[in-house]
Amino acid sequence: MARKTYWLEHAWLGDLVEPGVALDVTADGRIAGLRTGVDAPPPGAEVLRGLTVPGLANAHSHAFHRALRSTVQVGSGTFWTWREVMYGVAQNLTPDSYFALARAVYAEMALAGITDVGEFHYVHHAPGGTPYADPNAMGEALIEAAAAAGIRITLLDTAYLAAGFGEAPNAHQRRFSDGTADAWAERVSALKPREHALIGAAVHSVRAVPAGQLATVAAWAQERQAPLHVHLSEQTAENDACLAAHGRTPTQLLADHGVLGPGTTGVHNTHLTDEDIALLGTTTTGTCMCPTTERDLADGIGPAGRLQRAGSPLSLGSDSHAVIDLLEEARAMELNERLRSRTRGHWTANALLTAATADGHAALGRPDAGRLEAGALADFTTIALDTVRTAGPLPRLGAETAVFAASAADVRHTVVGGRHIVRDGAHTLVGDVAGALSEAIAAVRG
């Protein structure tokens, strides 16, 4: 790719909105530099009208859950009844059908301004648990799907070895399991990073990885300086079962086995004790909040503010894809806290955008993304300021407009590595994203 220049009508630079910014991109897809006070587009520059922010980081995704949207809104129930519907879709996935579905889902993410996704991937084998000829066929399908949709991916290959404390995987879960953490490590070690893809690790949950095998997963990630994620205390039932089995909370159990630390991110972190919060903070373990899923599944509101004050960096994810809208995730985190506390202003718009950008990319192993500055990856997205949702406020309030008024539908451009992936609201690589979603979901619905 040749060097190029983008002219940003307005740009969020982390703490303020600047009008008229020229952003130069190197041939290898990084930001060469920025010039402020550029009142008109330089000759030959690509013009991005609206508010340009760093590309959004979706730090927690289960791509195949997109097939559950609306279907799981019929009737009532809990997380556990929702899980049974999810298992039905998981059983129908093949490497080919998962590629088609994930490609469409990742294209939807690009349309929403997301440039990097953390895919918490646990559907590894054929139904019944028999490995494919390529044991990583499903993970490779996800990596290729991200490339086809034009976004980056951190494949968080997930150890999922048990149905619960002391319970073997059930019939649905056999395709998730490698049997042991050592076998998981052997398989995942064959996955190789590439330009758009990093390989990370995940512990599905303390109920799904026996305590004696947690250290194997943690060591694999630590030796490679790879991101390590874990579903943590999403459900009170998990906390109760962990206390009964080990006399410890899930957070304390993870600490005992060396899982916590600055390379680790706990997902949800919803039902925590004061001691749990202190442990996560003092170890600088991250927290990925997924508010639209947590409210959809009636999980509860996690103590995001207390966690951040304790020292846990915050990131955001769309998880089950009840919606794919990182601006809504950011907004929901603040509004949830307002409902709980009956006070306003727990995070500024700048802080919420930072969680959706720089801190999310860092949680996915990309500290060189999420900022509009020289040397960073040239990944950014532009939000229109003239739609029925965003028109009216002064441009200098662009951060507030983006977080508290805009939606994914207001994204006009998405650029990844200096390459236009979404232009004027249309995906440049996937011609009909809605059609691709419909076709791919029908194929796995069963």
268 catalytic per annotation:
yes
Catalytic residue from among 65, 268, 361, 427 = 268
* Helix extents (H) in 213-325: 214-224, 236-246, 250-256, 274-282, 291-296, 304-310
Q: At what angle do helices 214-224 and 181-188 cross, to 10 degrees?
A: 30
Task: Output the six-digit token pair for 401.
Answer: 């407009």
383, 360 Cβ separation under 8 angstroms: no
Q: At what angle do helices 433-445 and 95-111 cross, to 10 degrees?
A: 150
Residues forming beta bridges with residue 158, ordered by sequence position? 202
Catalytic residue from among 157, 319, 359, 379 = 319
DSSP string of 204-245, one letter each residue: --TTTS-GGGHHHHHHHHHHHT--EEEEES-SHHHHHHHHHH
The 3-state DSSP composition of the chain as helix, strand, coil percent (nearest 5) reads 40, 25, 40
177, 210 Cβ separation under 8 angstroms: no
256 catalytic per annotation:
no
CA atoms within a 13 Å half-sphere pointing along the CA-CB vector of 274: 0
Catalytic residue numbers, as ranges:
268, 319
